């Protein structure tokens, strides 16, 4: 009897699922930020600038991507406020709503990726560990 090692394939499947989950989460967060902001949209420039800036890629420790509003100099003033303008956050609230769905999106990607692999339900302790990690590090794990 011999053992067929498929660890490399399994790791590759997990990495692809991470990338898909992060992409979906960034897209959902960007869409949420565009729909849920408090500023008056005069030119549409700031709203159009919100999106995925660096698509998710595999890293040494997992996967990561970057979304937000990087091209507009006044975007940070709206998010954090300034000397004469009160904060009207739109990126952080979108992240707060969408990041908790990251683990579910990765799980869905894993289950559809290869051979319909079903993952067991997580315990409350594992859910707490994941929620703590997301709170500390965000989606760019």
- Report, as an integer, the average pLDDT of 67-78: 92
Asked whether residue 120 is assigned to any structural domain, the reply reads yes
As beta bridge partners, residue 63 has 58
Give residue 10's pLDDT.
Answer: 84
Averaged confidence pLDDT in the chain: 85
Range of the domain at 41: 35-137
Residue 9 placed within a domain: no
Q: How far apart are CA 110 and CA 32, in angstroms?
A: 24
- H helix or E strand, kind and range, residue 55: strand 51-59
Would 49 be classed as within a structural domain? yes
CA nearest neighbour of 97 among 139, 55, 52, 136: 139
Split into its structural domains, the chain has a count of 1
pLDDT of residue 114: 63
Return the minimum-mean-pLDDT range out of 24-28, 77-81, 117-121. Answer: 117-121
Give the model confidence (pLDDT) of 11-61 as tens digits. Answer: 888 899 999 999 999 999 999 999 999 888 889 999 999 999 999 999 988
């Amino acid at each position: 009897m011999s053992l067929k090692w498929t660890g490399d394939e399994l790791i590759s499947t997990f990495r692809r699922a991470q990338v898909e989950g992060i992409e979906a989460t960034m897209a959902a967060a960007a869409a949420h930020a565009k729909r849920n902001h408090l500023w008056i949209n005069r030119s549409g420039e700031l709203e159009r600038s919100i999106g995925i800036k660096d698509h998710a890629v595999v890293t040494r420790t997992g996967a990561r991507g970057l979304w937000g509003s990087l091209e507009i100099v006044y975007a940070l003033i709206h998010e954090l406020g300034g000397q004469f303008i009160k904060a009207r956050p739109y990126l952080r609230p979108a992240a707060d709503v969408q990041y908790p769905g990251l683990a579910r999106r990765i799980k869905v990607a894993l289950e559809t990726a290869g051979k319909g692999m079903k993952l067991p339900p997580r315990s409350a302790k594992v859910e707490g560990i994941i929620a703590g990690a997301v709170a500390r590090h965000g989606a760019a794990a």
